[in-house]
Amino acid sequence: MKKQAIIKVKNLTAQYGDDVILDNISFDVFEGEILVVLGSSGCGKSTLLRHMIGLDKPFLGNIIIDGENITSSDGLYYNVLKKIGVLFQSSALFGSMTLSENIALPIKEYSDLSKSSIINLVRMKLCMVNLQGYEDYLPSKISGGMKKRAGLARALALNPKILFLDEPTAGLDPVSSAEIDELILLINKSIGTTMVIVTHALDSILNVAQRIIMLDKTTKSIIAEGDPRYLKDHSKNVSVRQFFNRKAKIRI
């Protein structure tokens, strides 16, 4: 059975002042899939993400999430916020709050659950990301990888249909990066969460992506879409093949 598009980006143009970042791009994200947005620095990955989660308004075009056009009404956007979770690159945890308090914030904002129910839900989310026992820790007392997992737990707090993840393995060592990749796959497989991930980490892309779109800084458009393992060797676009087969230059 063909999967339904849970996100539709239609003819999106994003610009700041006279500087066009993305020019008339369109694509769908299908229910339950892991879509990775990739490309070189400055191609508009973060700009696209900011538009998809409603932080920026398009210059032109529409973004439809679970049937709601978030560009047309602030009221509709508020409803959509209950359906999405976001893991920011910095994890964006409040330093003065414990992990439990950080995760409880969106639950208190968007639900009428009792205090005891919130406590139980927070513990459940921390268990999902292997942080049981760290409820009362401040973000400053845990490692970078643990902060990412705590941020992921907060993004999952409301059982969202869709997760947006901005560079989820950035700044992490290979072991911690692999742990985050495993968590992403586990969450997607176990509860079917749709995921949109912005990253340039090649290992993560090949590990978790079911489909990718690749943005291009020069054309300000999408230059590749599909299975990254196929595109790596078979794309007709030289820039795409170079991205997937890049090697560090050794300077002597």
| CA 50/CA 86 separation, integer angstroms | 10
- Over range 92-96, report the average pLDDT: 91
SS (H, E, C) 99-160: HHHHHHHHHHHHCCCCHHHHHHHHHHHHHHCCCCCCCCCCHHHCCHHHHHHHHHHHHCCCCC
At 111, the pLDDT band (50, 70, 90 cuts) reads confident
- Over range 73-93, report the average pLDDT: 82
State which fold the 1-83+162-168+194-245 domain adopts: Rossmann fold (3.40.50)
Looking at residue 197, what is its pLDDT?
Answer: 97
Looking at residue 109, what is its pLDDT?
Answer: 86
Domain segments of the chain as ranges: 1-83+162-168+194-245
* pLDDT tens per residue, range 14-59: 999 999 999 999 999 999 999 999 998 889 999 999 999 999 999 9
At 1, the pLDDT band (50, 70, 90 cuts) reads low
More confidently predicted of 217 and 252:
217
Asked if the model's pLDDT at residue 175 lies above 80, the reply is yes
Cα dist from 243 to 128, 163, 205, 210, 235, whole Å: 33, 25, 11, 17, 11
3-state secondary structure of 184: helix
* pLDDT tens per residue, range 200-242: 889 999 999 999 999 999 999 999 999 999 999 999 999 899 8
| CA 212/CA 198 separation, integer angstroms | 10
Looking at residue 40, what is its pLDDT?
Answer: 87
* pLDDT tens per residue, range 62-79: 999 999 999 886 666 777
Name the DSSP class of 247: -
Q: Tokens 């916020």 belong to which residue?
A: 81
Looking at residue 8, what is its pLDDT?
Answer: 97
At 5, the pLDDT band (50, 70, 90 cuts) reads very high
